Structure 1
């Protein structure tokens, strides 16, 4: 697998599995997901920035964030805000992070009209490189399809491209 090749597959109709290898040590890749100063530099698709990123990185803790489109070339998306909230379930540093991901509002209230996601990320040490395996489980195949229709796969591909760029800056 080349550094920028993401592998994706759907299991049981409602679990999206994404895998990608990064040319950075596991501890560094893991830090990119737990420290706001790093997340602010790469989280979100191209043209979007994290304008809010509050993290309480512990089981039961909350990650509340806002992605805002800063790219005028993105037409009607320009200026749009997308709020999200993660509630951490399990943390095994530097091997894994599990959390429930919600669409939310600026106050952190979950949007129950949008599907929540059970996310498990596994960080596999490949001797100086890291394989990231992200499993996103939805309540139904329809819920998974709804986020796919929103362009989630393109968004996560661009997000992980930005992660790779950030890793190259700091290693």
Structure 2
């Protein structure tokens, strides 16, 4: 059974808070966020696929990827890693790009802080997402971000449960 996902929007502060508890230990959840072959298994909400072009998980490193629709349309994204506290937290700036990696200025970028905390039940994953403005947050939410966010985390949970 899936655990609940908290998804709270603060429009005045232009932030989203997400939280989910997994029954797995923090180091296991961590690897699914930091290894390209594992990210590709769950990052895209089904029936879409994620295809990583490069991933360098280190401060100032990058993750570039494509989200591929069932019709084979591709949408590109880029993550720039900042501070990494091994096994505990990291932050990134997530942006939409074109195929060459050029920033798409018509779509919002956001700063994410991801935390992995051991709890009695396993791991509490917290994700704080900050936008430049309430308008940018609203734009992303109007694109179906909440459903996509929840679908991703539930897919990750399903994948982890299959391993057990």
- What corresponds to 1:23 in structure 2? 23
Extract unaligned runs of 5+ from structure 2. Answer: none
Cα distance in 1 for partners of 2:121, 2:112 equals: 25
**Secondary structure of residue in 2 paired with 1:33:** helix
Matched with 1:75 is none
Distance 1:57 1:128 in 2: 27
- TM-score by structure 2 length? 0.93
Structure 1 residue 51, shift from structure 2 partner: 2.4
Gaps of 5+ in 1: 71-77
User: Is 1:43 aligned to residue 43 of structure 2?
Assistant: yes
- 1:142 and 2:135 matched: yes
1:57 counterpart residue number: 57
Q: CA deviation at 1:23?
A: 1.1
The question of whether the paired residues in 2 share the 8 Å contact of 1:44 and 1:156 is answered with no
Q: TM-score, normalised by structure 1?
A: 0.90
1:1-171 aligned at under 5 Å gives the runs: 3-11=2-10, 12-70=12-70, 78-127=71-120, 129-171=122-164
Number of equivalences? 163
Q: Secondary structure at the match of 1:90?
A: strand
CA deviations on 1:82-140 (whole Å, 9 max, x unpaired) are 21000001111110010000001112111122111000001111146111110110001
Aligned-residue Cα RMSD (Å) equals 1.4
**Which 4+ runs in 1 deviate beyond 3 A?**
none
